[in-house]
Amino acid sequence: NIILMGPPGAGKGTQAAKLVEKYGLKQISTGDLFRKAIKEETKFGVIAKYFISFGYLVPDDFTIQMIQEYLEENINTEEFKNGFILDGFPRTIIQARKLADICSMFNFKIDAVINLDIPEDVLVKRLSGRRTCADCGKSYHIVYNPPKKEGVCDACGGELILRDDDKPETVEQRLRVYHEQTQPLIDYYTKEGILKEVDGTIDLEDVFAEITKI
Ligand code: ADP
Ligand code: ADP
Ligand code: ZN
C-alpha cells in the first residue's frame, strides 16, 4: 500500500492510473470521491463543493468520515486484494494521524509514501493545461499528455473539461494551502522512515520508472 503525495498538479493522478494498470492496485482519490459526491449531491458533496470551489481543503472531520465510510464499504472487496494507492490523502497532519488509526483498525500498513517533488512555476503550467474527463476523472494535458482525439477521453469517450478549481485564481489559493497544511507531511513521513522522494519534473514515463523501482 502506498501514498502518493505532492502539490496540486504534481502528477499524482497520472501516476496512480499507471500503477493501477501495471500492478492491479486500487486507487483511492479523495478529490475524485468529492467530485463524485458533488455530482450526486450527497451530504459530503454539498459541503465539499463550497470548499473546493474556493481552493480550500475540505475540513478534516468530513474528509476523514468520508474516507472511513468508503473503506468500511470497500476494503474487503476483490479490488483491494493487491493493495491500494492513496492519491490526495492525507493532506494534513490530523489526517495522517487518523490514517494511522484507520490502519490499525482495518489491519493494514502503509509501505511507502512517494513524494513528487516539483517547483511552483511548473505546477502552474500543468494545471492551466490540464483537462479532466467529466465522466471517469482521468486527466490529460493539452501539451504534455494529449488525448488521441482533442476534447475526448481515450478511456471512456467522455468530454474533457477544465476543472473550475484549475483556473488561475483558485490555483494560487490551492498552492498556498499546500504549503501551509500539506507540506509538513514530508517531515512527518520522513520521521516515520517511509518517505521516498521522486523528481516530478521529468517526463511522466520516467517518473513512472522511478516509482516502479521503489
Ligand atoms: P489535485 O490532484 O489537483 O491536488 P484533488 O483532485 O486531489 O486535486 O483535490 C481537489 C480538491 O478536493 C482539493 O483542492 C480539496 O479542496 C479537496 N480535497 C481533496 N483531497 C482532500 C483531502 N485529503 N483533504 C481535504 N480536502 C481534500
Ligand atoms: P495531480 O493529481 O497531482 O494534481 P495530475 O496527475 O492530474 O496531477 O497531473 C497534472 C497535469 O500535469 C495533468 O495535465 C497531467 O497530464 C500533467 N502531467 C502529469 N505528469 C506529468 C509529467 N511528468 N510531465 C508533464 N506533464 C505531466
Ligand atoms: Zn473518461
Ligand 1 pocket test target in 91, 132, 167, 178 with most atoms within 8 Å of CB: 91
Give residue 141's pLDDT.
96
User: Is the beta carbon of 204 within 6 A of some atom in ligand 2?
Assistant: yes
**Position with higher pLDDT, 43 vs 142:** 142
User: Is the beta carbon of 88 within 6 A of some atom in ligand 1?
Assistant: yes
Q: Which of 146, 177, 182 is nearest to 52 (CA)?
A: 177
Give residue 159's pLDDT.
97
Per residue in 67-91, pLDDT (tens digit) is 999 999 999 899 999 999 999 999 9
Please provide the DSSP assignment of 6-37 as one string: -STTSSHHHHHHHHHHHH-PEEEEHHHHHHHH
Per residue in 156-182, pLDDT (tens digit) is 999 999 999 999 999 999 999 999 999
> Three cell numbers at 172?
494560487
Q: Does residue 58 sit in helix, strand or coil?
A: coil
Q: Does residue 143 sit in helix, strand or coil?
A: coil
